[in-house]
Amino acid sequence: WHNALSEVPISKDATSIIIGQEFLDCMPVRHFVKTEKGWCEKLVDEAPADSPKHFRFVLSKGPTPAAKICLRKELIPDLPDKPKDWEGIEVSPEAWWAAQEIAKRVHATQGAALFIDYGNDGHATDTLQALKDHKAVDVLSRPGQCDLTAHVDFSSVKRASLDWCPHLAAVVPMEAGGSAASVMPSADELKAMMASLQELEVLYAKLKSQGKDMSMERELLHKLEQVKKKLRNSAPPLTSDSSAPTKAASAKASAAANALFAHGPVSQCDFLHGLGVRERAQALFDAAKDDAAKESIMKQYERLTSPAEMGSLFKVLAITSNKIPTGTMPGFAMPGARDTRS
C-alpha cells in the first residue's frame, strides 16, 4: 500500500486505468461569500457556551489569503466577473491536485481515467453535507464520525486535468491581442500556493492576536505578492514576434502525439445509455423468472438512469491519452460529450 498516488511507481510498459467512483466528492472544500468587503471565507469557530453544538460557521471579517489565491479565473472557469452580494462559491483545491496527479499518470502511461460522481459542470455555492447511518445530519454536529461530501465541480476538474503540463499549455489558442489563454498551475505549483496560504493564515492569526492591524496588513500583502509572483513566473511565455504562428503550429504538431483528451462530463443517464444499459435491463427483464425479479430490475434501472434519481445528479468524466480520440469512447460518443486540449 502507498500513502499517496504520487508514491506509486510509474511504468511506461504498464498502462494505467484509473476509476474514481465517488472519489472527488470526499475532497475538502472551501466556501466563500461575496460581501461589501469582498470575498469572505466561511470559517469554523467555537460555538457560544450556551449552544448545544461545539462549533459554528462564521464569516471572515474580510477577504482571506485563500480567497485571493483560489478565486482566480484560471482556476475557476465560470467565476462570476461581477458577483452579487451574498453570492456564494465552493471550491476544492485538493480535487484539482488529485485530478492533475491522475492526469499526469494517464499521460505517462498512455492510459485512461474515469470519474463518476455527483456534481455540476461548473462551480456550486454550498453543497457540503454530512451523512451518518445513511441520514443527513448537521455538518458540525459530530466531527470525525460522519461522512462529509460535497458536489464536484467537473469543469474545474477537467481544466486541471488538461492543463497540468507545459506542452499542452503551449497549444492553447492565442487571443486576438496576442496573449495566451490562462493556464491552471501544475499540481506542484498549486501545492506550493496552498503551503504559502497556510503560512499566511498562521501569520494572520498570530498578528491578529497581537492586535497589530497595520503590521498584519503589510505582512499579508507582502506574502501575497510573493505568491502572485510565483504564479506569474509559472505562466507560459507570451510571444508577439512574426515567428509566433510558426512556433505555435510546431508546438501543436509536437504535442498532438502526447495530447490528453477530455470526454464529457455527461450525465450518468447518458453515459449508461451510451453503454447499452437499456438493452441490458431489457435482457435481464425478459429472463427474469417472476414478477418480483422483474420489478427489482426496473427499480434498479430507474434508480441509475432517472433524472429524479441518480441519472442527472451524477456526472461522468473521462481523461484519456490520444489513443482514444474524442467522440469514440463508449458512453461519450454523442453530441456534447467531446472536448480536447489540442
Report the distance separating Cα 314 and Cα 269, nearest Å: 8
For the segment 33-46, the average pLDDT, to the nearest whole number, is: 91
Q: Please report the pLDDT score of residue 288 as a whole number.
A: 93
DSSP letters for 211-276 = T-HHHHHHHHHHHHHHHHHHHHHHSPPP--STTHHHHHHHHHHHHHTT-EEEEEEEEHHHHHHHTT
Tell me how crowded residue 16 is: count the other CB atoms within 10 A of its CB: 19
CA separation, residue 12 to residues 16, 190, 205 (Å): 9, 26, 46
Burial annotation 166-203 (CB, 10 A radius, 16+ → b, else e): eebbbbbeeeeeeebebbbbbbebbbbbbebbeebbee
**Which cell is 65 given?**
489569503
Q: CA torsion angle for 80, 85, 87, 92 (degrees, to 10)?
A: 70
For the segment 160-166, the average pLDDT, to the nearest whole number, is: 69
Range list of H helices, the chain: 65-70, 93-109, 154-162, 166-169, 187-210, 213-234, 244-256, 268-274, 277-287, 291-305
Q: Please report the pLDDT score of residue 81 as a whole number.
A: 77
Q: Which residue has the higher pLDDT, 37 or 76?
A: 37
For the segment 191-214, the average pLDDT, to the nearest whole number, is: 63
**Which cell is 267 given?**
450525465
Q: Which of 157-171, 242-256, 320-334 is predicted least confidently?
A: 242-256
> Which residue shows C-alpha cell 448537521?
138
**Which cell is 80 given?**
462570476
| Verdict on whether the full-model pTM lies above 0.95 | no
Through-space distance between the first and last CA atoms of the chain, rounded to whole angstroms = 35
Task: Report the helix count and the strand count for the chain, using DSSP H and E.
Answer: 10, 13
Residue 231 has pLDDT above 60, yes or no: no
For the segment 156-175, the average pLDDT, to the nearest whole number, is: 57
Burial annotation 42-78 (CB, 10 A radius, 16+ → b, else e): beeeeeeeeeeeeeeeebbeebbbbbbbbbbeebbbe
Residue 192 has pLDDT above 70, yes or no: no
Percent of the chain residues topping a pLDDT of 90: 38
Question: pLDDT digit string (tens) for 115-147?
Answer: 999 999 988 889 999 999 989 999 988 888 999
**Which cell is 227 given?**
505568491
Question: pLDDT digit string (tens) for 263-305?
Answer: 999 999 999 999 999 999 999 999 999 999 999 999 999 999 9
Whole-number mean pLDDT of the chain?
77
For the segment 175-191, the average pLDDT, to the nearest whole number, is: 44
Residue 181 has pLDDT above 50, yes or no: no
